[in-house]
Structure 1
Amino acid sequence: MAEFVKAQIKNGKVVVFLKPPCPYCVLAKDVLSKYKFKAGHLELIDISTRSDMDSIQDYLQQITGARTVPRVFIGEECVGGGSDVEGLHHSGKLEGMLQAIGCLQ
């Protein structure tokens, strides 16, 4: 489990652990869709179909302090969930964070 999560989170990449029907997951995807990512630098991981979904969420709680989805990682740093990403976008900080890890076109 930890290996799966760690293997996804890499510097230079944005990773979102999500469940499709979740409104905050939709919000995070909508905000991130406003940016032009280089191919392969934005990864949306649907954990709802995985048999180890609960274990993944337990591990995310250990490393981020929250079990809820989405969990959005910019590089190796978790920036929170949907509302957090929206707040970073509106404050203008999100673009700088994305540029800092080199994931934008």
Structure 2
Amino acid sequence: MAQQFVQAKIKGDRVVLFMKPTCSFCNMAKEVLSKYRFKPGHLEFIDISGRSDVGGVQDYLLELTGARTVPRVFIGEECVGGGSDVKALHEEGKLEGMLQCIGALQ
């Protein structure tokens, strides 16, 4: 169930942030992504903390990305890492190009 949930969310033209609201790195990633103008429906913040299968979701993220921790940020179907990774991509000027490549920006 957790695997299908994650797979249904990560699609080629979307940016997805798997997060928990109490996590400072999650909020850092959310803040960075919020600086960009996304097309409607192309950015999703998914709070996994209230899910009954939160452990399963994190186990599958580990299998998929090599890390079980949140945040996990997907640009299309590729995981680009967590909060500090997204912030670094933004500061290096690389994030916007990655978002444009998948057609997520207005």
Structure 1-normalised TM-score? 0.99
Name the amino acid aligned to 1:58: D
C-alpha distance in 1, partners of 2:47/2:96? 24
Name the amino acid aligned to 1:45: I
1:82 to partner: Cα distance: 0.2
Which residue pairs with 1:88 in the alignment? 89
| Identical pairs, percent | 69
1:79 to partner: Cα distance: 0.1
Name the amino acid aligned to 2:48: I
C-alpha distance in 1, partners of 2:7/2:63? 13
Q: Does 1:61 align with 2:52?
A: no
Q: Does 1:24 align with 2:30?
A: no
1:17 to partner: Cα distance: 0.4
Name the amino acid aligned to 2:89: L
1:43 to partner: Cα distance: 0.6
1:92 to partner: Cα distance: 0.4
Q: Secondary structure at the match of 2:35?
A: coil
Which residue pairs with 2:50 in the alignment? 49
1:28 to partner: Cα distance: 0.2
Which residue pairs with 2:14 in the alignment? 13
Q: Secondary structure at the match of 1:11?
A: coil
C-alpha distance in 1, partners of 2:3/2:52? 15
Say how many residue pairs are matched: 105
1:31 to partner: Cα distance: 0.2
Q: Secondary structure at the match of 1:17?
A: strand
Which residue pairs with 2:41 in the alignment? 40
